[in-house]
């Protein structure tokens, strides 16, 4: 038997704990886990135990030091990986017994002292920062002038943006916070006199289109009519020439008259825009965006009132994932659609245009008839037409504006600083302010007042509140348990500071125990307050950020790029997760459900043709048992694939890490990894066979590979394939670059073998069999365990450190048929979340 | 791809007749002990890095020694063959896979940094710290679109580069009007007051903190102190004018990555020449589109996973050659300027490190990193095999020890080092 207790964590723990272990070797002379000695002793004892794991590492029972080993042991035994079938005659019943023994030992783990459940504080990530400062100030968002644009981007850790180690803080961060907060406060509390409102009339002639290049003299890429301006190129934005940016912060009422035209004029296969999709118009105020669906050939009057910061640019755009279907996807190639259409349908016009084609000035060459430049004016693709706009503002219902009044009152004086700043600080710091704690900040206001006046001084005091560690760090100190819990709960579901609603529901006992939490969790999802969780958690858990890290090859998979299909794939995964939560699905069903949510673009990838021709996601049941649920999603299949090919290893590692909760160790550094060579007529399995024959590789790969081969029938975009298609060229002596391009032979087809055997002897022939195996009780349980850990990582910013408590959550979840709501409630009720 | 002749001519040569040294001005004003004021010539440090390594058969020359045959990718550097050394068989001993290239400049990954006193501080920051407040900017960092996460400070926090040449220009060369200076002084003073208030309130928080939180709160406290220091330095510099520089010709016409990198390297060269800073890094990120470079159609990352397809390998080599061409152009620029008050050109007083924390993206190998050191007055060795008698690769940190010593940092260890690499200098 080869290794296998060689997970990442174990490897790390092994180094860190070697000292401790040394001690335990000498004090614990013999461990007496008879069942383990019997089944595991042969390989995991002696001078050189397999995988570097010696049974003595388990000690007498589960302790803080040994629990990593117990946890990993349980993972591998429950999955059936250990003890392996290939070298023993253990039965499934034996494995079940061993797993049960390990679980009992883990559950017996002595209750650790309270502070063991404390997770280190961490910095707010940028999302949380934006939400929190907005809620503390009572504003809709941080502002339309990109006030947070200077913040450093957050570093993700395994997809999570809540990881405390990755969220560092430095003087550089701090400086950016000061700058950002001041910008936010400046656009909320207005200094100076009230500005009178102005009226701006924007007729069609003052509508302008931005340019892609740096040259501004170039003719604008738009269709200009007497009474309107139309989008010809979806990459540019429209703006108002007499209202380029907001002059003064305040409310503005904006009216825009627009319509959608020529939907369905061309064949949608040519344009890439489905006839079923309405034409949309997006209005951008900085990074705030409002999108409207325009009626066809009928003028719609859009009216909206927005608080806009000084300097905000107002721009319109045409959001569509189409219009890249022809040529190299560059917009000018759309004009050839116009050419082809006119040639076929309007011979008179065609003749007229052709007759007008003249050589370029200065005796240049004559461009061919089909050249895009002749047909620009005849483009009739689906597009928004904008007639004009009217803007009024700044508008203030009161002066000072309401948001300012509720923060600092009508005309604050520095003498009232403490009274004014205390409620702001209590919201921002998510706790009561301690006696005397605000003194330094109050003093700051007093000191500044003579130089800069009362209001400006008060604003500096507000800035200081948001630069304080009490705002920027989550639970940095020992506050009251109720306040700490409210903070954690609010950041878990809403990624923001706890509102009055959260505080009062906790005070009312609605989070006191498991049953109360079940109701509260369910209410979160029905009330819409948990939207942030529903969007961000699956994004992090499924590592959807990786999808275009290595996008499929544009030449081989044009559909993926021309229809922006990665966005549909991400939307599918999130939509499915939301559905799972809202219907309170059983957790394991997420993995292997026989349905998902797809639109026409995804249908093309999935080889399905009975869905409506539009971009809306709808529930679809797959009859072939190959797809549906997380295991069938193109997002996962794509983000684990290379550009040209797929790797069963990458997919296996993804499945193990994100669905099974096991981190296989990366290959050691001195292993020579063979570079994939598309020029040879070998399948990946044949190539990998070579290295599985090597002992160093085999010990891990025998466990890893079976999790990946099942997906071999899915190509780099996740579409089904029955054969590999490879273009084979003569391998050269050395991969030196030569300038002459070699003739490539016609592509050859190689058969796919998507079968594999797990170490417990269970085998599958293809994805259908694999999905069935994933529905075994052991695998389902392991998936739920993984889901629980991911929830805890999202909540705590670090891996759970106590295996027994994870098991207790799992047992609680099992009592409720692993329903998602109850599982989440069990997580929130656990000391691992409550941090008692 | 050829560089526009015009941009080369206009870049440094004529425009920069006699630039005033920033630190000299500063030293006169403060009577501080900047090294240039006490007659020593400044030594500068530039790192040029990428996250995906180099295609090995095209990067490493076939033979060793001073008289080696230049490799395909390194061809643009042929003119300077005796001014740089290529190091074979050196690395940080990392396992395979993406993400470990973050350790390029320290040998330490963020996740294991707590085991090291200096965390995963990159060597450029170590050198910048040593140089200290003699110059206006301790270090400058540039890239396009996004960084490659190679620069880390002593807190183990990543420093992000400027990704917009225009912003880098404004930062380095834009002089403020009197009004703006006044505003900046006021802002600095106000920020100072805010930090003071926060520091005081922070002390109260820290007193209430549990053991688990202490480390991160210490980090916060350090950040406050360091920012206060930095503002102090900055206040000293506000009133002094920066050197004048013009890069507008790089922005005429279409904005390609070629003219934007030209602009970045020109700014670094001029910042070195005028002693605005002595430490800089420039990165070639994975996410950037390199299709402006002749012969490139695919993504950088995609090209590394070429499956040995010739066409795709050629695109990868084109991207890598582009990086070397940029390096070569920069070195030429420095070499055309005589170092004032010293022998040799500016290139002889600038240590340049080119390389990657990844060996080769195609195999995800982090062994045998592509490493090249140029200039710095070293007696260069051509192409060296750094393996020891037992055939083991040399820790790259050994070379870093050598570089530190070149900067007068008196130490003989750095993270994973087992010694120092012998590279003498004039």
- Comparing alpha-carbon positions, the chain B residue that sits nearest to A467 is B198
Q: Chain A residues with CB inside 8 Å of B157's CB? A: 168-170, 172-173
In a mutagenesis test of the A interface, which of B291, B310, B316 is the best target, namely the one with the most A β-carbons within 10 Å? B310
Query: In degrees rounded to 5, what are phi and psi of residue A55?
Result: -55, -30
DSSP state of A659: I
CA distance B374 to chain A (A): 25
Helix (H) or strand (E) holding B58: helix B56-59
Q: Chain A residues with CB inside 8 Å of B216's CB? A: 120-123, 164, 169, 473, 476
Cα distance between residue B269 and residue B290, in whole Å: 23
Question: b vs e for B214-250, b when ≥16 Cβ sit within 10 Å of the residue's Cβ?
Answer: eebbebbbebbebbbebbeebeeeeeeebbebebebb
Asked if B392 reaches chain A (Cβ–Cβ under 8 Å), the answer is no
How high is the pLDDT of residue A416?
Answer: 96
Contact in structure between A721 and A683 (CB atoms under 8 Å) = no
In this structure, the strands spanning B394-395 and B90-91 are parallel
Q: What is the mean pLDDT of residues B387-411?
A: 95
CA distance B179 to chain A (A): 17
| Residue A192 vs residues A215, A399, B385: alpha-carbon distances, Å | 39, 11, 69
Q: Which class for B31: exposed (0-12), middle (13-18), buried (19 or more C-beta within 10 A)? A: exposed
- Comparing alpha-carbon positions, the chain A residue that sits nearest to B255 is A214
Asked if B155 reaches chain A (Cβ–Cβ under 8 Å), the answer is yes
Instruction: Note whether A152 contacts B191, CB cutoff 8 Å.
Output: no
Instruction: Note whether B205 contacts A470, CB cutoff 8 Å.
Output: yes
Write out pLDDT tens, residues B211-233: 888 888 998 999 999 899 888 88
Cα distance between residue A383 and residue A708, in whole Å: 44
Cα distance between residue A438 and residue A435, in whole Å: 8
Cα distance between residue A630 and residue A648, in whole Å: 17
Cα distance between residue A641 and residue A488, in whole Å: 36
Q: Tell me the longest C-alpha to C-alpha distance in chain A.
A: 99
Cα distance between residue A804 and residue A108, in whole Å: 7
Instruction: Note whether A673 contacts B309, CB cutoff 8 Å.
Output: no
DSSP state of A511: T
Interfacial A residues in 413-472 facing B (CB < 8 Å): 434, 437-441, 443-444, 447-448, 460, 463-464, 467-470, 472
Cα distance between residue A826 and residue A823, in whole Å: 5
Q: Chain A residues with CB inside 8 Å of B155's CB? A: 168-170
Cα distance between residue B116 and residue B383, in whole Å: 32
Contact in structure between A490 and A474 (CB atoms under 8 Å) = no
Cα distance between residue B335 and residue B344, in whole Å: 8
Query: In degrees rounded to 5, what are phi and psi of residue A246?
Result: -70, 125
Is the pLDDT at B284 greater than 90, yes or no?
Answer: yes
Cα distance between residue B326 and residue A497, in whole Å: 48
Interfacial B residues in 66-125 facing A (CB < 8 Å): 72, 93-97, 110-111
Helix ranges (H only) for A188-311 are 268-271
- Which residues are bridge partners to B374 per DSSP? B84, B352
Q: Which positions ≥6 away from B304 have C-beta within 8 Å? A: B52, B53, B55, B316, B360, B361, B362
Query: In degrees rounded to 5, what are phi and psi of residue B236?
Result: -65, -30
Q: What is the mean pLDDT of residues B311-336?
A: 96
Write out pLDDT tens, residues B22-41: 654 444 433 333 344 345 78
Instruction: Note whether B219 contacts A168, CB cutoff 8 Å.
Output: yes
Question: b vs e for B95-117, b when ≥16 Cβ sit within 10 Å of the residue's Cβ?
Answer: bbbbbbbbbbbbbbbbbebeebe
Asked if A681 reaches chain B (Cβ–Cβ under 8 Å), the answer is no
Cα distance between residue A129 and residue A142, in whole Å: 9
Model's pTM, two decimal places? 0.82
Q: Chain A residues with CB inside 8 Å of B116's CB? A: none
Asked if B391 reaches chain A (Cβ–Cβ under 8 Å), the answer is no
Residue ranges for chain A with pLDDT beneath 70: 1-31, 51, 87, 110-116, 212-218, 327-331, 360-365, 669-674, 676-681, 691-692, 696, 727-746
Asked if A642 reaches chain B (Cβ–Cβ under 8 Å), the answer is yes
Q: Which class for A345: exposed (0-12), middle (13-18), buried (19 or more C-beta within 10 A)? A: exposed
Contact in structure between B370 and B56 (CB atoms under 8 Å) = yes
Among the partner residues B95, B158, B313, nearest to A668 by beta-carbon distance: B95
Q: Which positions ≥6 away from A172 have C-beta within 8 Å? A: A152, B153, B157, B159
How high is the pLDDT of residue A384?
Answer: 97
What is the CB neighbour count within 10 angstroms for residue A78? 23
User: What is the CA angle B245-B246-B249, rounded to 5?
Assistant: 160
Contact in structure between A172 and A179 (CB atoms under 8 Å) = no
CA distance B425 to chain A (A): 33
Chain A to chain B, count of Cβ pairs less than 8 Å apart? 215
Q: What is the mean pLDDT of residues B192-215?
A: 91
Instruction: Note whether B302 contacts A553, CB cutoff 8 Å.
Output: yes
Q: Which positions ≥6 away from A441 have C-beta within 8 Å? A: A417, A421, A425, A461, A464, A465, B197, B201
Domain A198-323+381-395 = CATH 1.10.10.60: no
Q: Which class for A396: exposed (0-12), middle (13-18), buried (19 or more C-beta within 10 A)? A: middle
Centroid of chain to Cα B68: 27
What is the CB neighbour count within 10 angstroms for residue A290? 13
Instruction: Note whether B216 contacts A164, CB cutoff 8 Å.
Output: yes
Among the partner residues A171, A460, A551, nearest to B190 by beta-carbon distance: A460
User: Which residue from A388, A375, A381, A377 is spatially nearest to A261, judged by alpha carbons?
Assistant: A381
User: Which residue from B53, B48, B149 is spatially nearest to B361, judged by alpha carbons?
Assistant: B53
DSSP state of A658: I
Instruction: Note whether B254 contacts A214, CB cutoff 8 Å.
Output: yes
Helix (H) or strand (E) holding A422: helix A417-429
CA distance B126 to chain A (A): 16
User: Which residue from A274, A290, A284, A281 is spatially nearest to A259, judged by alpha carbons?
Assistant: A281
Interfacial A residues in 246-275 facing B (CB < 8 Å): none
Helix ranges (H only) for A640-766 are 648-655, 684-693, 695-704
Q: Chain B residues with CB inside 8 Å of A172's CB? A: 153, 157, 159
Could you tell me if residue B377 is left (phi over 0), alpha (psi between -120 and 50 degrees) or otherwise beta? Answer: left
User: What is the CA angle A479-A828-A545, rounded to 5?
Assistant: 100
ipTM for the whole complex: 0.84
Interfacial B residues in 26-65 facing A (CB < 8 Å): 55, 57-58
Helix (H) or strand (E) holding A387: strand A383-395
CA distance A410 to chain B (A): 24
**CATH 2.60.120.260 residue ranges in chain A?**
198-323+381-395
DSSP state of B301: H
Write out pLDDT tens, residues A368-387: 888 888 888 899 999 999 99
Q: Chain B residues with CB inside 8 Å of A464's CB? A: 194, 197-198, 201
């Amino acid at each position: 038997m080869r290794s296998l207790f060689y997970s990442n964590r174990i490897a790390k723990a092994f180094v860190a704990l070697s000292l401790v272990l040394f001690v335990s070797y000498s004090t614990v002379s013999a461990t007496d886990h008879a069942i383990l000695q019997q089944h595991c002793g042969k390989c995991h004892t002696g001078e050189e135990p397999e995988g570097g794991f010696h049974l003595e590492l388990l000690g007498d029972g589960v302790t803080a030091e040994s629990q990593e080993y117990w946890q990993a042991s349980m993972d591998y035994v429950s999955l059936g990986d250990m003890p392996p079938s290939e070298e023993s005659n253990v039965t499934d019943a034996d494995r079940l017994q061993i797993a049960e023994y390990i679980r009992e030992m883990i559950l017996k783990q002595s209750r650790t002292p309270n502070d063991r459940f404390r997770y280190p504080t961490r910095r707010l990530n940028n999302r949380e920062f934006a939400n929190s400062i907005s809620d503390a100030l009572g504003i809709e968002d941080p502002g339309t002038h990109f006030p947070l644009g200077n913040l450093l981007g957050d570093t993700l850790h395994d997809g999570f943006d809540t990881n405390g180690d990755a969220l560092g803080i430095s003087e550089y961060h701090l400086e950016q916070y000061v700058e950002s907060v001041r910008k936010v406060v400046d656009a909320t509390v207005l200094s100076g006199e009230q500005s009178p409102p102005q009226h701006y009339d924007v007729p069609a002639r003052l509508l302008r289109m931005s340019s892609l290049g740096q040259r501004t003299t170039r003719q604008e890429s738009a269709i200009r009519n007497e009474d309107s301006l139309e989008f010809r190129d979806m990459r540019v934005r429209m703006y108002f020439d007499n209202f380029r940016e907001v002059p003064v912060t305040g409310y503005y009422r904006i009216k825009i008259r627009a319509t959608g035209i020529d939907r369905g004029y061309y064949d949608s296969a040519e344009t890439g825009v489905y006839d079923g999709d309405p034409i949309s118009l997006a209005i951008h105020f900085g990074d705030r965006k409002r999108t409207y669906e325009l009626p066809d050939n009928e003028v719609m009057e859009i009216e909206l009132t927005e608080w806009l910061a000084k300097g905000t640019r107002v721009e319109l755009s045409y959001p569509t994932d189409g219009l890249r279907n022809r040529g190299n996807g560059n917009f000018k190639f759309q004009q050839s659609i116009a050419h082809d259409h006119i040639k076929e349908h309007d011979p008179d016009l065609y003749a007229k245009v052709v007759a007008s084609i003249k050589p370029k000035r200065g005796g240049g060459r004559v461009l061919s008839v089909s050249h895009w430049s002749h047909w620009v004016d005849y483009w009739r693709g689906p597009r928004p037409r904008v007639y004009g706009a009217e803007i009024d503002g700044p508008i203030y219902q009161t002066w000072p504006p309401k948001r300012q009044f509720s923060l600092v009152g009508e005309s604050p004086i520095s003498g009232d600083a403490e009274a004014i700043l205390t409620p702001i600080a209590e919201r921002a710091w998510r706790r009561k302010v301690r006696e005397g704690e605000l003194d330094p900040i109050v003093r700051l206001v007093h000191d500044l007042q003579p130089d800069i006046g009362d209001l400006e001084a008060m604003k500096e005091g507000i800035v200081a509140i948001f630069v304080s560690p009490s705002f920027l760090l989550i639970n940095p100190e020992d506050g009251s348990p109720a306040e700490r819990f409210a903070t954690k709960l609010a950041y878990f579901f809403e990624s923001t500071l706890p509102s009055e609603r959260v505080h009062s529901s906790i005070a009312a006992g609605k989070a006191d125990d498991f049953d109360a939490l079940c109701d509260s969790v369910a209410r979160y999802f029905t009330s819409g307050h948990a939207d942030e969780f529903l969007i961000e958690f699956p994004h992090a858990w499924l590592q959807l950020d990786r999808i275009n890290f290595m996008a499929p090859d544009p030449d081989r998979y044009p559909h993926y790029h021309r229809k922006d299909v990665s966005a549909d794939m991400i939307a599918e995964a999130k939509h499915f997760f939301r559905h799972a939560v809202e219907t309170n699905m059983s957790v394991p069903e997420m993995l292997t459900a026989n349905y998902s949510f797809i639109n026409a673009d995804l249908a093309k990838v999935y080889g399905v043709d009975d869905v409506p021709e539009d971009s809306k996601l709808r529930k679809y049941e797959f009859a072939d048992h190959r797809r549906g649920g997380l295991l069938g999603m193109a997002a996962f299949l794509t983000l684990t694939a290379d550009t040209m090919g797929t790797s069963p290893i990458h997919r296996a590692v993804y499945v193990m890490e994100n669905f099974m909760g096991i981190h296989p160790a990366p290959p050691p550094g001195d292993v020579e990894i063979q570079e994939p060579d598309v020029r040879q007529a070998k399948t990946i399995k044949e190539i990998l066979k070579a290295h599985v024959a090597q002992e160093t590789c085999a010990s891990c790969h025998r466990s890893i590979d079976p999790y990946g081969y099942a997906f071999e029938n899915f190509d780099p975009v996740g579409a089904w394939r029955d054969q590999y298609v490879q273009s084979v060229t003569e391998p050269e002596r050395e991969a030196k670059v030569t300038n002459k391009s070699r003739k490539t032979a016609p592509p050859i087809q190689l058969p796919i073998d998507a079968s594999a055997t797990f170490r417990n002897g269970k085998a599958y022939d293809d994805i259908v069999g694999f999905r069935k195996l994933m529905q075994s009780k052991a695998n389902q349980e392991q998936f739920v365990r993984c889901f629980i850990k991911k929830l805890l990582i999202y909540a705590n910013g670090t891996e759970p450190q106590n295996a027994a408590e994870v098991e207790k959550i799992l047992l609680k979840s099992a009592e409720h048929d692993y329903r998602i709501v109850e599982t989440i409630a069990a997580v929130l009720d656990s000391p691992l979340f409550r941090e008692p | 791809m050829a560089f526009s002749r015009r941009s080369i001519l206009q870049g440094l040569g004529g425009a920069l007749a006699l630039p005033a040294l920033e630190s000299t001005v500063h030293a006169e004003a403060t009577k501080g002990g900047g090294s240039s004021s006490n007659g020593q010539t400044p030594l500068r440090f530039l790192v040029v890095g990428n996250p995906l390594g180099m295609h090995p058969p095209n990067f490493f020359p076939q033979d060793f020694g001073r008289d080696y045959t230049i490799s395909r990718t390194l061809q643009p550097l042929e003119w300077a063959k005796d001014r740089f050394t290529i190091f074979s068989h050196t690395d940080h001993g990392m396992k395979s896979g993406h993400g470990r290239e973050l350790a390029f400049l320290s040998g330490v990954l963020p996740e294991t940094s707590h085991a090291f006193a200096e965390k995963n501080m990159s060597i450029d920051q170590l050198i910048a710290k040593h140089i200290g407040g003699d110059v206006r900017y301790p270090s400058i960092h540039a890239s396009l679109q996004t960084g490659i996460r190679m620069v880390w400070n002593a807190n183990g926090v990543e420093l992000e580069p400027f990704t917009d040449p225009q912003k880098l220009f404004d930062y380095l060369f834009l002089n403020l009007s009197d009004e703006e200076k006044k505003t900046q002084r006021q802002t600095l003073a106000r920020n100072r007051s805010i930090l003071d208030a926060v520091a005081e309130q922070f002390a109260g928080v820290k007193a209430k903190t549990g053991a688990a939180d202490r480390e991160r709160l210490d980090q916060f406290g350090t950040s406050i102190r360091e920012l206060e220091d930095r503002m102090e330095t900055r206040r000293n510099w506000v009133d002094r004018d920066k050197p004048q520089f013009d890069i507008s010709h790089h922005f005429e016409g279409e904005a390609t990555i070629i003219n934007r990198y030209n602009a970045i390297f020109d700014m670094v060269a001029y910042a070195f020449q005028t002693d605005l800073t002595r430490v800089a890094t420039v990165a070639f990120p994975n996410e950037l589109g390199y299709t402006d470079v002749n012969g490139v159609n695919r993504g950088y990352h995609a090209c590394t996973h070429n499956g040995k397809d010739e066409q795709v390998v050629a695109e990868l080599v084109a991207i890598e050659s582009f990086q070397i061409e940029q390096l070569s152009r920069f070195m030429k620029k420095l070499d055309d300027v005589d170092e004032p008050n010293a022998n040799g050109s500016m290139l002889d007083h600038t240590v340049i490190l080119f390389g990657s924390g990844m060996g080769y993206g195609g195999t995800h190998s982090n062994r045998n990193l592509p490493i090249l050191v140029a200039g710095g007055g070293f007696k260069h060795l051509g192409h060296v095999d750094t393996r020891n008698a037992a055939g083991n690769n040399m820790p790259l940190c050994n070379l870093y020890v050598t570089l530190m010593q070149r900067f007068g940092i008196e130490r003989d260890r750095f993270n994973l080092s087992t010694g120092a690499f012998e590279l003498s200098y004039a």
